[in-house]
Amino acid sequence: MSRINQIAEKAAAANRKLLIPYLVAGDPNLQTTSALMHKLVQQGADIIELGIPFSDPSSDGPIIQRGVERALAKGTTLKQVLELVAEFRETDADTGIVLMGYLNPIEIMGYKTFAEAASASGVDGVLTVDLPPMEAGELNAMMRAVEVDTIFLVAPTTREERVASITEHCSGYLYYVSLKGVTGAALTDFDSVTANINKLRAQTALPIVIGFGIKDAESAAAMGKLADGVIIGSALVEKIGLLADQVEHDAEMLSDTIKVISEAREALDKLV
Amino acid sequence: MAKPEESAAVVDPAVFDGPDASGHFGPYGGVFVGETLIAAVEELAEVYAELSADKNFWAEYDAELKHYVGRPSPLYFAERLTDSAGGANIYLKREDLNHTGAHKVNNTIGQALLAKHMGKTRIIAETGAGQHGVASATVAAKLGLECHVYMGAEDIIRQAPNVYRMKLLGANVISVESGSRTLKDAMNEALRDWATNVDNTYYIIGTVAGPHPYPKLVRDFQCVIGREAREQSLEQIGRLPDALVACVGGGSNAIGLFHPFLKDESVAMYGVEAGGHGLATGEHAAPLSAGCAPGVLHGNRTYLMSDEAGQILETHSISAGLDYPGVGPEHSWLKDMRRVNYVDATDDEAMKAFHQLTRLEGIIPALESSHAVAYAMKLAATLPQDKNIVINLSGRGDKDIETVAKIEGIEL
């Protein structure tokens, strides 16, 4: 059983909602990302989605675009992101790590090299935003061979007859995109999310987590009620954008940066 | 320089019938977009499959090309240019004479008809040189559709007359400040807009790139260039041309000219990429001729300029319309099949050709098309006088006169 499966099962048994922060690796530098990751775990993160910086993030809104630009300004590469995970694993064997990004850096590294390095570094899952299931066969097979989960998105626009082909390729958890748009947009249509999650439940036993547009304790609670967990990205990356580009930050400063995560944890824990 | 006979490919002609049902040209093409857009591209593929099998749709399209665009465009024998090059006869396929001044309108007319059939009320487009933006704004005005054009901030400076033209046509021109602030970033922003407004919006992609079915449908709309050139060659020359030359950025004018000739083994083809400051400097926009590796960007797999970490490289070309790090996936396939020779012309060579054509023929070419002219003149000089070359003169150069003046230190 994969680490993500174990985390999800344990959470389900304890009636705990999964809290999944997203941050861009290397924003504003790799040392700070590392410190933030440990801090996020202390504040109740179950899984961390680590963004692989890419020059052309066409599914992301301006906040994450700027985070990516900061990481790229430091020359952050996929290889370094994998090294960051390996270093994190030296002291944390419990938290799930999912790499989220676009296909080209993986394509240029080579699928096999990437799969082996991801597994060796302690990566638990990979979510490639611009790689839909029908193009994912080869990469998926290689990730499965090294027991790394492959996570896919379902969007409000996803046709019902397509869901089966997505869940067939998906393992770990299913990521439901709450809105039509890019990351960081405003989430307004709670009713359609409810309806769509209910439909998805009938089609898959995978844990379902909701992302896009969750920005505070209130929206985390509203979405957490519907799903097995929530992802918070832009609201966190926006705060990270305020950090100075220095290697050491005082603990209080980092706690303040990730306050949205501790508040979301509290709100999610009150749900049960 | 590659000789035409070197390009003679020994392959099964069926390899030129792509893409397959899932949008692949060999390993290239495909659908690489976020989940939010999948339903939209699938719907477009379904609608296009249906309409493209409908004679009435093509009759409507042909009528627009004839009465609105002004087709057929002439195939013109450039006598003085031929004499100057000193070899094969040079003919120009005059896409510069189309309404809006370039080949782009062949595609925007077709896609606007698709948008209308799909009941979309809002058009978005990306543009580099502004030619596709103008062509999109033009058809949006004609059909009464709302139009938003994404354009890199850098290109807005380089192509000021076209920006004003789009505004006159009622389009909203949105300056894109992210990344390298050129065509690729405009395309990223258009994709973000589409994901947000997918219900009422039709995205008119300007070249033979993007997710399936765009590379196919844009090609189909541009093939009118090659079909006409083929007929005109038979009529005016008495046989098929020996070589075709077209500039390649995303590659829509080139594929439009080449495609109807792909199965004619005697016809050599040259796709001329932007060599910028020279391939050796790294400052160019020539993924095919510079030997770049395949990658994935903007919805398709294709040869792509990216660094060893997979980040897309900034490109350089004197012409905004060629300043793009990728190329349409069908061109990648034609390179692998060795059916088309992909070569380059530098900024300086294009500038020289711009002046030559202007002075020798009284035709001011777009800087994009000047790349094709530059290479064709070199090619002509290596061929005997009984050979015939057709250049796709894809656009006119009025939009570029400020750029040219600036480079030459002339104040207008």
Q: What is the biggest distance separating any 2 CA atoms in chain A, rounded to whole angstroms? A: 51
The tens place of each residue's pLDDT in chain A, 272 residues long, gives 899 999 999 999 999 999 999 999 999 999 999 999 999 999 999 999 999 999 999 999 999 999 999 999 999 999 999 999 999 999 999 999 999 999 999 999 999 999 999 999 999 999 999 999 999 999 999 999 999 999 999 999 999 999 999 999 999 999 999 998 888 888 878 888 999 999 999 999 999 999 999 999 999 999 999 999 999 999 999 999 999 999 999 999 999 999 999 999 999 999 97
Contact B81, B362 (CB under 8 A): no
Q: Cα distance from A39 to chain B (closest Cα, Å)?
A: 28
- A152, B42: Cβ pair inside 8 Å? no
- Average model confidence (pLDDT) for chain B? 95
In angstroms, the first-to-last Cα distance of chain A is: 26
A179 DSSP 8-state letter: S
Give the pLDDT confidence score for residue B11 in this predicted structure. Answer: 74
- Does the structure show a pLDDT above 50 at B2? no
Q: In what order do the strands lie in the sheet containing B201-204?
A: B172-176, B146-152, B122-127, B201-204
Q: What are phi and psi of B123, to 5 degrees?
A: -105, 135
Cβ atoms within 10 Å, residue A242: 10
B126 annotated active-site:
yes
Give the pLDDT confidence score for residue B165 in this predicted structure. Answer: 95
Give the pLDDT confidence score for residue B3 in this predicted structure. Answer: 46
> Per residue in B185-205, pLDDT tens?
999 999 999 999 999 999 999
Which residues have C-beta within 8 Å of that of residue A104, sequence separation ≥ 6?
A54, A56, B295, B296, B297, B304, B306, B310, B311, B312
Contact A213, A187 (CB under 8 A): yes
| Across B265-292, average pLDDT | 97
Residues of chain B with CATH 3.40.50.1100: 42-56+104-213, 70-101+222-408
What is d(CA B348, CA B50) in angstroms, rounded to the nearest whole number? 46
Q: From the centroid of its chain, how far is CA A172?
A: 12
Nearest CA in chain A to B300: A130
- B297, A182: Cβ pair inside 8 Å? no
Contact B310, B380 (CB under 8 A): no
| Domains defined along chain A, listed by start | 3-151+215-266 (3.20.20.70)
Evaluate the omega torsion of the peptide bond into residue A28 and state whether it is cis, within 30 degrees of 0: yes
User: B21-36 b/e with 16+ CB inside 10 Å = b?
Assistant: eebbbbebbbbbbbbb
Residues of A with CB under 8 A from a CB of B: 54-62, 65, 69, 72, 77-79, 102-109, 129-132, 134-135, 152-159, 162, 166, 177, 180-182, 185
Nearest CA in chain A to B23: A135
- B22, A134: Cβ pair inside 8 Å? yes
> Per residue in B348-363, pLDDT tens?
999 999 999 999 999 9
B292 DSSP 8-state letter: P
> Per residue in A30-74, pLDDT tens?
999 999 999 999 999 999 999 999 999 999 999 999 999 999 999
ipTM of predicted assembly, 2 dp: 0.96
In angstroms, the first-to-last Cα distance of chain B is: 38
Among B126, B228, B273, B361, the one annotated catalytic: B126
What is d(CA A171, CA A155) in angstroms, rounded to the nearest whole number? 17
Residue with tokens 């609105």: B68
Residues of B with CB under 8 A from a CB of A: 22, 30-40, 42, 178-179, 184-185, 187-188, 191-192, 195-199, 293-299, 301, 304, 306, 308-312
User: B155-172 b/e with 16+ CB inside 10 Å = b?
Assistant: bbebbeebbebbeebebe
Q: Which CATH fold would you assign to the domain B70-101+222-408?
A: Rossmann fold (3.40.50)
Angle, to 10 degrees, between the axis of helix B104-117 and the axis of helix B55-64?
A: 130
Could you give the 3-state DSSP secondary structure of residue A49? strand
The catalytic residues of A are 49, 60
B10 pLDDT tier (thresholds 50, 70, 90) = low
B167 annotated active-site:
no
Among B349, B368, B394, B399, the one annotated catalytic: B394
CATH number of B42-56+104-213: 3.40.50.1100
- Does the structure show a pLDDT above 60 at B4? no
- Does the structure show a pLDDT above 70 at B366? yes
